Structure 1
Amino acid sequence: RRGPLRSVITQNIDLLHNKAGSQNVYEVHGHMRQATCMRCCAVYSMETILPDFVATGNIPFCSVCGGALKPNVVLFGEALPAKIMRDAQREALACDAMIVAGSSLAVSPVNELPLLAKQTGARLIFVNYGETHLDYLADVIIRADVADALPAIAGAFRNVGT
């Protein structure tokens, strides 16, 4: 919260960035807040449909048209939301530094975001246990668990100038 963190671009669908208070979160693989009817596009809060699904295991259906409801997440073979990807690309092109945390950078087109950032001169910081095919671009590589490394990095930034 102290520094100029412009945005968070995440492939996670668990809403943890939002719950942690992050602002400008771009959820490129969607989220679990809502489900949408695959036929008429009516939108439902997961809070209203999840209890019955958990209790019965039955697929929820739309009360308007009877179509199946699908969580607002990207499944294998589906395209990423175009607007979210454009927004994420815009953020990558505008950043001074990008922290890539806990990603193998194996999934396209999200793995192209560090390339966009680097093209405009941004510094790249990779925090990951394993190697990625883009490690050669990184200015800093931290081989550690994200759960340990990110709080340490945040702590270091809090201590800058004190």
Structure 2
Amino acid sequence: MPELPHDSTSRGQGQRLRMSKELKRAIEDAYRVVIFTGAGISTESGIPDFRSPGGLWTKMAPIDFQDFLRSPEIRAEAWRRKFEIDKTIVSAEPNKGHMAIAKLIDEGKASHVITQNIDNLHQNSGIPAEKVIELHGNGTYAKCLDCGERHELSWVREIYDASGAAPDCRSCGGIVKSATISFGQAMPEEQMNRAHEATLGCDLFIAIGSSLQVYPAAGFPVLAKRNGAMLAILNREPTELDQIADLVIHDEIGPTLAPIAMLN
């Protein structure tokens, strides 16, 4: 009787379970965990990764911050693109990966989530806003670049639809922009400082769903490792920092994290 072929699906499930157990043990042994997330966790909620090959930014160059500032026409085009992109984002909901992280935060095992994402899904999963450090801002509202007043996107959309132009701040007349960090725009100093402090305070740093290629954000895993913390990386594809990590898992995020947080 010929030997039956090995079941690759079973092998894959077995490896996932083993690696999940290793990560779970590292989390249990840690005193303070900091979690760093990139676009990969949100793609499992149906949000596209704009940086990946074939993504939006490979088809349509992003608008530079200085161009946004100098031209009302470019600002109007930026808002047109924003509302078009939001069609694929507004219906997205937190997935098992987000919920597992939320549980680790709620149980006090993880202190903060440092994220490159702008989709607000960590907050929507139940994590208090003060525990989420948004390095690239938040795309669910807008802010005046002059006075800092918050403007809801529904208000911006109403003005844009009526006039075809980008609105000015209702308080000071300044430029209103999505509360995200654009190409050419300075990183948010307060958020960077908070991320730096959180990173130095952890003994386990888990990078999840990030290619770890975009700096200065990708410098935080390196900082954690140099400061003596254990570095774990969970990403579907290899990253540039795999070689310095203590634990590397190349797998889906939600299915890997769900058993760790014991989600149903």
* TM-score interval for Structure 1 and Structure 2 normalised by the shorter chain: 0.7 to 0.9
Residue aligning to 1:52: 158
Displacement after TM superposition at 1:27 (Å) = 0.4
Match of 1:43? 149
1:23-38 counterparts in 2 under 5 A?
23=128, 24-38=131-145
**Structure having the larger proportion of residues in helix:** 2
Percentage identity across aligned positions?
37
Per the alignment, residue 197 of structure 2 pairs with: 90
Q: In proportion to residue count, which structure has more strand? A: 1
Provide the secondary structure at the position in 2 that maps to 1:6.
strand
User: What SS does the corresponding residue of 1:85 show, helix, strand or coil?
Assistant: helix
TM-score for the superposition, normalised by structure 2 = 0.54
Shift of 1:64: 3.0
1:54 CA drift (Å): 7.1
Q: CA contact under 8 A between 1:7 and 1:25: conserved in structure 2?
A: yes
Q: In the alignment, residue 60 of structure 1 is paired with which amino acid?
A: P
SS, match of residue 251 in structure 2? coil
Contact 1:33 1:45 in 2 (8 A): no
SS of the residue 2:138 aligns to: strand
**Distance in 1, Cα, partners of 2:147 & 2:212:** 32
Matched-pair contact (CA < 8 Å) for 2:142–2:153: no
- Asked if the contact 1:49/1:60 (under 8 Å) is kept, the reply is no
Say whether residues 1:79 and 2:186 are aligned partners.
yes
CA contact (8 A) 1:118 1:124 kept: yes
Larger Rg: 1 or 2? 2
Hey, what's the Cα distance between the residues in 2 that align with 1:48 and 1:42?
18
TM-score by length of 1: 0.84
Whether the 8 Å CA contact 2:200–2:223 is kept in 1: the answer is yes
Q: Which amino acid aligns with 1:41?
A: C
| Aligned mates of 1:145, 1:101 — CA distance in 2 | 10
Correspondence 1:5 to 2:132: no
Gaps of 5+ in 2: 1-105
Task: Tell me the distance in 1 between the aligned counterparts of 2:134 and 2:143.
Answer: 16
